[in-house]
């Protein structure tokens, strides 16, 4: 085998390994995790083939310099993988809750529409 062919084979294998590593990190390794608090606005189970649990919390706050002293709201959209946890969250619509989430770089269609995946509440 010539040197050029060896280089091409090695380069191709290196590219495949690098792509696999990137996809593994981007889709399966949590980028960040933390807590969010707010009022649960809606929670639904949706999807054609893969049914996923999707929710939205409204987080109240105060606007910055644009309009001094006025209130604004911020949305936190999230997905839930665990059906038991989804059932528990579903019964709290309209309540103020705190959720623990893991943030991924990208969403997966079988995990949900959001890159934020909630794994517990308090």
Report which of residues 24 and 45 the model is more confident about: 45
pLDDT more than 90, % of the chain: 46
Class for the domain spanning 31-121: mainly beta
Handedness of CA 38, 103, 34, 72 (dihedral sign): negative
> Beta-strand (E) ranges in 1-122?
32-46, 52-62, 71-80, 96-103, 116-121
Q: CA 6, CA 73: separation in Å to the nearest integer?
A: 59
In this predicted model, what pLDDT tens digit does every residue of 89-106 receive, in sequence order?
A: 998 988 999 999 999 988
């Amino acid at each position: 085998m010539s040197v050029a062919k060896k280089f091409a084979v090695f380069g191709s294998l290196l590219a495949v390994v690098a792509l696999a590593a990137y996809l593994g990190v981007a889709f399966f390794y949590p980028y960040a995790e933390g807590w969010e608090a707010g009022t649960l606005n809606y929670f639904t189970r949706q999807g054609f083939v893969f049914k996923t649990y999707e929710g939205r919390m409204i987080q109240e706050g105060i606007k910055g310099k644009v309009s001094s002293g006025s209130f604004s709201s911020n949305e936190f959209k999230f997905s839930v993988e665990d059906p038991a946890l989804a059932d528990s969250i579903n019964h709290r619509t309209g309540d103020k809750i705190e959720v623990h989430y893991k943030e991924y770089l990208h969403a997966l269609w079988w995990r949900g529409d959001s890159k934020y995946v909630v794994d517990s509440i308090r």
